[in-house]
Amino acid sequence: MSRQLKIAAAQLGPLHRSDTRRDATRRLVELLREAHSMGARFVVFPELAFTTFFPRWWMPDQNEVDRLYFEESIPSADTQPLFDEARRLGMGFYIGFAEKIEEGGRTRRFNTAILVAPDGSVVGKYRKVHLPGHADHKPDAAFQHLEKKYFEVGDLGFRVWRFMNMIAGMLICNDRRWPEAFRVLALQGAELVALGYNTPTENLHYPEPPALRVHHHLIMAQAMAFQNATWLVEAGKCGSEDGFRMFGHSLIVAPTGEIAAKSLTEDDEVIACHCDLDLAADLKRTMFNFAAHRRPEHYGLIVERVGAQVTPANE
């Protein structure tokens, strides 16, 4: 008998600066209930799901940033209702949030996601490794992308967990552009990768048609799922947050690389799919039998070199 799990991606429409974590939690609870009514048992929510995408603003007062956007404990009083409702409904979930901790005598801040089991316990934590954007103030830009200012690079690596009868890994937003992140999860047997994102419709760094940005989002998801023989569930926060637009296109991709479900709006929306987890296991035994076909003796540069260099022999 194959392992089946109905999985949902719960896309969030915009959260404005004036929205509180309590407002966001109310909407997340509604989405959770909708996913449950569709038969889903596991739900993926977006990156930084309790607040607006605050790294678009330069804010000099870190105390205010901490107060408005960072969680010192999860669940907190404001976010507890989501955990309570998930436990009541017997649902697992992935969710992203801004994490602030005190460690070794200093304050550390991460862009974090957790896996929560149907009994309400936090079983896994991932801290975003690939932080896009910049740390310096760009007052002339239409908007900024200050993840490098507000967060440290994640220090927990890429891990998987045996969870709800599957092997699940987590990534966050920009990680989806880096094949290495998926491959490290796949090398640990990942059958499902959960990923939340916030992707601006405009490219801050150079002109790019919005349709091309969506095209990249879709082809990356399809390629990463197929080449790593894993289900991939991506949930975005999207729409116009205080006038800054982000695209939707939340999706569930099968290990075959086929898009199994995709959102249609830029608002709160749930999509769901019956996932045959053994499809991932089957492809790992055949087309992507890593043990039989990979040649790591030729992949050394992947870990030895960061930026591309043309070696003298090739010039």
Catalytic residue list: 47, 128, 173
Omega of the bond prior to 81 within 30 degrees of 0, cis?
no
Q: Which of residues 11-50 bind ligand CDV (CB under 6 A)?
A: 47
Q: Which is nearer to ligand CDV, 112 or 198 (CB)?
A: 198
Q: Which is nearer to ligand CDV, 47 or 191 (CB)?
A: 47
Q: CA 223 to CA 254: how far, in whole Å?
A: 10
Q: Which is nearer to ligand CDV, 82 or 246 (CB)?
A: 246
Contact 279, 256 (CB under 8 A): yes
Shortest spacing between CB 172 and ligand CDV, in angstroms: 7
Size of the site for ligand CDV (CB under 6 A): 10
Of 10-18, 118-126, 169-177, 227-235, the segment contacting ligand CDV by CB under 6 A is 169-177
Q: Which is nearer to ligand CDV, 21 or 130 (CB)?
A: 130
Site string for ligand CDV, 126-145 (x = CB under 6 A): ------xx-----------x
Of 57-65, 161-169, 171-179, 283-291, the segment contacting ligand CDV by CB under 6 A is 171-179
Shortest spacing between CB 173 and ligand CDV, in angstroms: 3
Listing DSSP states for the chain in one string gives ---EEEEEEEEB----TT--HHHHHHHHHHHHHHHHHTT-SEEE--TTTTS--GGGS--S-HHHHHHHHEESSSS-TTTHHHHHHHHHHT-EEEEEEEEEEEETTEEEEEEEEEEE-TTS-EEEEEE-----S-SS--TTSSS---HHHH-PPPSS-S-EEEETTEEEEEEEGGGGG-HHHHHHHHTTT-SEEEEEE--BSS-SSS---HHHHHHHHHHHHHHHHHHTT-EEEEEEB-EEETTEEE----EEE-TTS-EEEE--SSSSEEEEEEEEHHHHHHHHHTTT-HHHH--GGG-HHHHH-SS----GGG-
Q: Is 81 in the site for ligand CDV (CB under 6 A)?
A: no
Shortest spacing between CB 222 and ligand CDV, in angstroms: 16
Q: CA 98 to CA 100: how far, in whole Å?
A: 7
Shortest spacing between CB 78 and ligand CDV, in angstroms: 22
Q: Which is nearer to ligand CDV, 75 or 133 (CB)?
A: 133
Q: CA 24 to CA 127: how far, in whole Å?
A: 21
Q: Which is nearer to ligand CDV, 35 or 171 (CB)?
A: 171
Shortest spacing between CB 199 and ligand CDV, in angstroms: 3
From residue 7, give the alpha-carbon distance in Å to each of 3, 33, 39, 50.
12, 13, 8, 21
Shortest spacing between CB 98 and ligand CDV, in angstroms: 12
Site string for ligand CDV, 172-201 (x = CB under 6 A): -xx--x-------------------xxx--
Q: Which is nearer to ligand CDV, 164 or 173 (CB)?
A: 173
Shortest spacing between CB 161 and ligand CDV, in angstroms: 23
Chain positions contacting ligand CDV, by CB under 6 A: 47, 132-133, 145, 173-174, 177, 197-199
